Structure formats: C-alpha cells, structure tokens
Amino acid sequence: MESKHYTCPVCKSRDLYFKHEASYVYSYLLDSDAPGIKNSETFSPFLYDKRNQTSSLEYVECDNCKTRFQSDLLYDALGASNFERSDYVI
C-alpha cells in the first residue's frame, strides 16, 4: 500500500492527527463494602457497573498550528465516498 502524506492547508505541516474525543458517565452500584459490584475489597475506578457515552467528536488536528478540521474532510481526502462512513467510525 502506497503511503500518502497530507499537509495542513494553513501552515503546510505534515503533523496531522485524527482525534476522537468521547465523554462517558460511569455508574457504580452502592453496596456495603466498596462502590460497585465488581469492587469487593478496594475501589478501582475502572471496575464500573455501567458506562454510558454522553457525547463524541471526531476531527483532524494539526499538531503545529493546532487548527482543527471536520472529520468529513478526512473521509473525502481518503476517497471514502465509495464506502459507508460507518465503516470508518471508531
């Protein structure tokens, strides 16, 4: 597969990153020993009982000038119009 390098249209840097931001609400059932059914001796925040995503955002960011571009630009640049965009969602 041929490697393609994309450049920032603002500063011409090649340091572009595709970023996916997401926010979650973690829930722990209150019980007698530690919060959450999965936490039996000590509380470990990664042992949650329920997780709900509240928001998400995808974009391309230039590491040099910090300009953000909508992810739709990335799909078009990669020629993804022939594919379902859901195939590229993280």
Provide the pLDDT for residue 90: 31
Domain span at 69: 16-78
Beta-sheet strand order (sheet of 50-62): 16-27, 50-62, 68-70
- Digit-coded pLDDT (tens) for 11-20: 999 998 989 9
- Whether 69 is in a domain gets the answer yes
- Whether 83 is in a domain gets the answer no
- Whether 42 is in a domain gets the answer yes
Listed residue (1, 8, 15) closest to 77, CA to CA: 8
Is the pLDDT confidence value at 89 over 50? no
- Whether 4 is in a domain gets the answer no
Report the domain count for the chain: 1
Average pLDDT over residues 19-37: 80
- Whether 39 is in a domain gets the answer yes
Is the pLDDT confidence value at 10 over 70? yes
Q: What is the pTM of this model?
A: 0.56
- Whether 7 is in a domain gets the answer no
Provide the pLDDT for residue 2: 59
